[in-house]
Amino acid sequence: MPNGIIIIDKPQDWTSMDVCAKLRGVFHEKRVGHAGTLDPMATGVLPVFVGRATRAVSLAPDNEKEYIATLKLGVVTNTQDIWGEIREKKPVPADAGDRLKSLLPQFTGEIGQIPPMYSAVKVNGKKLYELARKGVEVERKLRTVTIHALEVSPAGSPDILSLRVRCSKGTYIRTLCHDMGQALGCGGCMAALRRTVACGFSLGGAHALEEVLNHPDPAALLLPVDSLFADRLRLTLTARQAERLCHGGSFSTPAQPGEYRAYGPDGVFLALCRVSDGTLSTIKSFFEV
């Protein structure tokens, strides 16, 4: 049975779940899930987990992502992106790009964002987008997110700029575009979004959906599940330790405290483990039962 991770370059107008549904048919495997949801209009890195690898979805690092976004100045919409209802139009100053560059420090580091009404955030048990579709707008709490790096460059005309954003989980790029437009005084919205890094995987290792669908052996494109934990040290167990681990047991070890990729003496990846107080125990197992 197929088992591993495939990095998909998600096409526009597909939901993340649409991609998973398509890949269930490709791999003939019901257990298919994804990490790091992308909105339908966004493209780019979508890590998809197949077979036993779905056990790793909850462990996927989700604290840092990178995007390339297109900022359309002079337009404000109800969704904070170009696909929404236009609420306001204003002229764009010819030096907008230079002025925005001077404002970048106030949008870098820890910043506050108010989640957009068209989002899945819940207020009193209701998703905001459900309320927004009914014409209801409610007060939202300010959230703190981190913008690790932010670059702006021209994209052909004074009212179109390209942003490269490296940010924390929970950052709304749409809101960042909106807030930048407000700071410039002419308004703005997001016109395109492409994710280039997620869960430690980059666009360079991603496959177009068409490539996967037409590949003679799609399973050959799967990455081993332990590639998700490449930043952890490798720990090779003895046959006796491996057997104990596979039966849910823990055992003493001289290894330093921390998390490890545990392998059997045959080199087979068994589990992500933790060493604490001289004892190794399992965080999540991945071996064949």
Average pLDDT over residues 252-280: 96
Residues with catalytic function: 39
Q: Where are the beta strands (DSSP E) in 158-267?
A: 160-167, 188-198, 201-202, 207-208, 233-236, 251-252, 258-263
Highest CATH level, class, for 232-285: mainly beta
Query: Could you tell me the sign of the dihedral formed by the alpha carbons of 114, 116, 122, 123, in that order?
Result: positive
Show me where the domains of the chain are located.
4-60+200-227, 65-198, 232-285
Out of 3.40.50.800, 3.40.1000.10, 3.30.2350.10, 3.40.1710.10, the CATH code matching 65-198 is: 3.30.2350.10
Average pLDDT over residues 26-40: 94
Query: Could you tell me the sign of the dihedral formed by the alpha carbons of 83, 72, 165, 116, in that order?
Result: negative
pLDDT at 132: 65
- Write down the pTM of the prediction: 0.90
Give the confidence band of 157 by pLDDT, cuts at 50, 70, 90: confident
64 has pLDDT over 70: yes
pLDDT at 289: 63
pLDDT at 262: 97
Average pLDDT over residues 36-59: 95
Give the confidence band of 40 by pLDDT, cuts at 50, 70, 90: very high
Overall fold of domain 4-60+200-227: Pseudouridine synthase (3.30.2350)
The pLDDT tens digits for 168-206 are 988 999 999 999 999 999 999 999 999 999 999 999 999
The pLDDT tens digits for 215-230 are 999 999 999 999 999 9
> Which region among 56-60, 130-134, 211-215, 272-276 has the lowest average model confidence (pLDDT)?
130-134
Neighbours of 216 (CB within 10 A): 5
Equal fold, 4-60+200-227 vs 65-198: yes
CB 195, CB 45: distance < 8 Å:
yes
pLDDT at 116: 76
